Amino acid sequence: MLKAFPFRLIGCLGVLLLFRGQGAPLFAAGEQVYLEPETFLAQSFTTEPEKKVLWLTPPLKARIREILGHDYPGLRLRYWAAGNRTAWILEEIGKTRPITAGFVVEDGRLVDMKVLIYRESHGWEVRYPFFTDQFSGATLEEGSTRLDRSIDGISGATLSVNALTRLARLALALHQEVTP
């Protein structure tokens, strides 16, 4: 009976691997690339966007710190622009690992938000439209860095929800910096 145990365990693991949910990591799987950044950018513009750089000046760094609760690493941020539309690929720590997300802002409103790369073992549900669609049309409150709406959380993904909400606020604030 004891000799059969390892084979039964391997068989059960095989069944679990076969029937795991689509896109749902069975174990802490490391990095999950859901959408390549280049593909996100290609889907975000109808014409070729201009690649630009926003230098993080001391006043802008202070505003970013107000939104994120910490400094954003680096001296500059890359973004893409065409007309009044900008696209931002930003990262924020979920629980312990960075989440890479893409944001499209037009005329001060979030047009699109996608989780591009997810590295945490929990909370990956934030990539699905039932969550990300809440941000569609969101703006910053007048004279504030708060969103104009509340975002519903996901049980077990609180830190990921909070990280993406901060990034949405940051994308809107950065858009304000680069558009008249």
Q: What single string gives the DSSP state of each residue in 23-39?
A: T--SS----EESS-HHH
Helix, strand or coil for residue 52?
A: strand
Cβ pair 53, 75 in contact under 8 A: no
Question: Which two tokens mark 101?
Answer: 């997300």
Question: What's the predicted TM-score (pTM) here?
Answer: 0.83
Nearest Cα to Cα of residue 126 among 155, 147, 149: 155
**pLDDT tens-place string over residues 144-160:** 999 999 999 999 999 99
Report d(CA 120, CA 29) in Å as an integer. 8
Q: Indicate the range of 8-22, 28-42, 67-81, 90-104 predicted with least confidence.
A: 8-22
Helix, strand or coil for residue 98?
A: strand
Q: Indicate the range of 9-13, 85-89, 130-134 predicted with least confidence.
A: 9-13
Report d(CA 56, CA 74) in Å as an integer. 8
